[in-house]
Amino acid sequence: MFQFLRDHLRPTLALKLSSLVLGSTGLIFLLAFAYSDRIARGIVLKGVEQNTRNLASDTVHQIEAVLHAVEPLPRWLAGYAAAERPGLEDITRVLQDELRASPHIYGSAMAFAPGAGGGDGKPFAPYVYRRGGRFEFVDLGVGAYGYESQDWYLIPHVTGKASWSDPYYDEGGGEAMMCTYSVPFFRETGGRRVFAGVVTADVHLEHLVQIVSSIKLYRSGYAFLLSQNGQFVSHPDKNYVFKESIFSIAEETGDKQLREIGRDMVRGREGFVRGRSPNTGRMSWLYYAPVSASGWSVGILFPEDDILADLRSMNRVIFWIGSLGFALLLVAITVLSTSVTRPIRILARQTTEIARGNLDLQVPPVRSHDEVGDLSHSFENMRLALKEYVANLAATTAAKERIESELKIARNIQLSFLPKRFPPFPDKTEFDIHAELQAAREVGGDLYDFFLLDDHHLFFSIGDVAGKGVPAALFMAVSKTLMKGVAEQHLTPSQILAKVNHELFVDNDQMLFVTVFCAILDLRTGELQYSNAGHPPPLLFRRAQDVSWAELPPGIVLGITDDPDYETRTLTLGPQDTLLLYTDGVTEAMTSRRELFGDDRLHRFAEAHAGRSPKELVEGLFAAVHDFASGAEQSDDITVLALRYRGTAKPAP
């Protein structure tokens, strides 16, 4: 039962092909859809911003045109009041004449400072304004109006400059919502310039509100007007007008963004921002621009849904068209994949027997000349090739086993060339030495050696043949044999290297080479003569503690030139001084991420293990390298040799 379900419910090639094509197509469609939607949104918003900017600019220009048209009258009247010292009759006549000539001005006043308008020193402020098609007159200095405490009078008095007031209801004066442009005037008294009063021109707010209220944007967009302190002068919601400010709304709703927008607006800045409408909660866009003449600000707000309504409608159409195309593609792919995979299923059943080892069963031919036919021919060729492979496998396996056996023998022979008994000289107490070699393949190209030249001199060396495997191993064996034979002639280390190099260079058609460090230690004095042929510098432990790199003389590798120069240098080892020699398989050991062990890590290892015996140093360094590689395949042979000079034992008294 379970086998039947596994065979019939498994994912078929047709299903996988359909899933892959449909998944890829769907992903491409969604990415293209998302990208086009993003680009279209950007284009729409950019166009909306530009249109809104133009609309706001036009509105600001209309408002400023009204305000700028008002300003010349009070400036002229200020000059008139300062120079002429007119009486009440003249003032009334002049104000009425000017209002007739300026239909956009609601009213005008000439408010004198105490004592400047008459001899009795009483407040005097003649005011003429329009009402019902005629002019009305009132003296603002009479009664409880108190014009001297009004902003339109007080601010020009204090600053000495003309200014626009915030909108206000002029109770006891023009009895209307208005804003006032005030110009102070001065007179010369006793050689001093003395404040004499303020001349005003009032603008009825109804006209400015009509300019702003006439703006209709999209389905529910609207415009509003803020005063210098953020108070609403115009807004579709009448509960806001002169009762709320943008800051009070921000405080009430806890909207920090709206508070920052309000600060920008009262500072005369321009902006286009996205946020939630405080009265509807819908995500909206707000464009605001300053009215420079008065310090006010115009804002135009419209919901994002209104802007993107057409785009979303278009996206729905595109989505349904894409879904229909996706369904048609599903049907087409299913039909096509089924017709293609039917012969493959038949071929799979027929080749199951071949997979079980029945290589004498022929695959029935397929007459089609497409990929399925090619697959059938390939299976038949595979059957014949498998029969031939099985026939040859036994012979190949036997040959491989023979080669592996021969490599093991070669490995044993190579290791027999190297000293491997430790301690090598039990009767010698002047030094302690230990070494180990690990090849990257069955046989390697690294070498080390040490032997006594006589009772008082120890020769030791370490080397690394370029390359790995059998060629490097053979070159290593030749190099080690030559090194020992020449060293026994009691030559200096540099002479030993020169002679060995000459022998290796002759008939070296493959241009193999070897790096070598060799030295001769005088066991009585600790004097060490050494020379180098391109090998990495050893680490020197002074008193088994202080670690430094030994200074090496220059010298080229052995085997590539016939007449190189090698130099012998000398240093003296004290009791417990240690040398740590190694091949580049240590510093070039790599992790799976191709990170090198490196000189710095080797030096840190030496500092951490100073004072250890040569055997502990060698084994510890191999462990550190293997831990660092974390199981990565060894890429090069690794050899380590450690020598500690103990000194000559003093005779007992």
- Residue 545 backbone dihedrals phi, psi, to 5 degrees: -130, -65
Contacts of 398 (CB under 8 A, 6+ apart): none
DSSP letter at 337 equals H
CB-based contact 326:19 (threshold 8 Å): no
Q: Give me the helices (H) in 71-173, please.
A: 72-84, 88-101, 151-159
Backbone angles phi, psi at 225, to 5 degrees: -125, 130
Amino acid 364: pLDDT = 65
What DSSP element (H or E) covers 225?
strand 222-226
Tokens found for residue 375: 């697959």
CA angle 315, 317, 321 (to 5 degrees): 115
Report the C-alpha gap between 460 and 487 in whole angstroms: 10
Interatomic CA distance for residues 108 and 99, integer angstroms: 8
Distance CA 644, CA 575 (A): 8
d(CA 480, CA 233): 103
Per DSSP, helices labelled H in 85-177 are 88-101, 151-159
Please report, to the nearest 10 degrees, the dihedral formed by the alpha carbons of residues 32, 37, 42, 45 taken in order.
170
3-state DSSP call for residue 174?
A: coil
Sheet holding 577-582, edge to edge: 431-438, 638-645, 577-582, 539-542, 546-549
The total of other beta-carbon atoms located within 10 Å of residue 34's CB is 10
Question: What CATH number labels 72-204?
Answer: 3.30.450.20
pLDDT for 458 equals 96
- CA-to-CA distance for 109 and 92, rounded, in angstroms? 9
The residue behind tokens 């002479």 is 495
Please report, for the chain, the start and end positions of each structural domain, with discontinuous segments joined by +: 72-204, 208-306, 419-645
- Sorted by sequence, the CB contacts under 8 Å of residue 423 that are 6+ apart come out as 432, 433
Please list the rounded mean pLDDT of every run of 10 residues in the chain (653 residues).
53 68 77 73 71 79 82 88 82 88 88 74 87 87 86 90 87 85 88 89 84 76 84 83 84 86 87 83 85 83 73 71 78 72 68 70 65 68 72 67 63 72 91 92 83 95 85 85 91 95 87 94 96 96 88 93 93 95 93 92 94 95 93 88 86 41
Question: Cβ distance 180 to 165 under 8 Å?
Answer: yes
In the block, which residue shows the tokens 């329009």? 130
Report the C-alpha gap between 74 and 185 in whole angstroms: 10
Q: Please, are residues 509 and 550 in contact by the beta-carbon 8 Å criterion?
A: no
Can you tell me the distance from the alpha carbon of 227 to that of 241, in angstroms, rounded to the nearest whole number?
Answer: 11
Same fold, 208-306 and 419-645: no
* Contact between 564 and 607 (Cβ < 8 Å): no
| Side-chain half-sphere exposure of 214, counting CA atoms within 13 A | 12
The residues with which 405 forms a beta bridge, in sequence order, are none
Determine the Cα–Cα distance for residues 641 and 434; give it in Å rounded to an integer.
Answer: 6
CA distances to 89, 477, 559 from 471, rounded to whole Å, are 128, 10, 14
Alpha helices for 102-204 (secondary structure H): 151-159
Q: DSSP assignment of 170-231, as one string?
A: -TTTT-SEEEEEEEEEEEEETTEEEEEEEEEEEEEHHHHHHHHHT--BTTTBEEEEE-TTSB
Residue 178: Cβ-neighbour burial (10 angstroms; 0-12, 13-18, 19+) = buried
User: Which CATH number, 3.40.1390.20, 3.30.1390.20, 3.40.630.30, 3.30.450.20, labels domain 208-306?
Assistant: 3.30.450.20
What are the beta bridge partners of residue 432? 644
Show the beta-strand stretches assigned E in 391-470: 431-438, 446-454, 457-465
User: Was domain 419-645 assigned CATH 3.30.200.20?
Assistant: no
Q: How far apart are CA 515 and CA 334, in angstroms?
A: 67
> What pTM, to 2 d.p., does this model score?
0.44
Query: What is the spatial distance between Cα 264 and Cα 267, in angstroms, rounded to a whole number?
Result: 5
C-alpha span between 362 and 248 (Å, rounded): 91
Distance CA 361, CA 339 (A): 26
Backbone phi, psi, residue 493, to 5°: -55, -40
275's tokens: 């946020």
Per the listing, tokens 């790599």 go with: 590
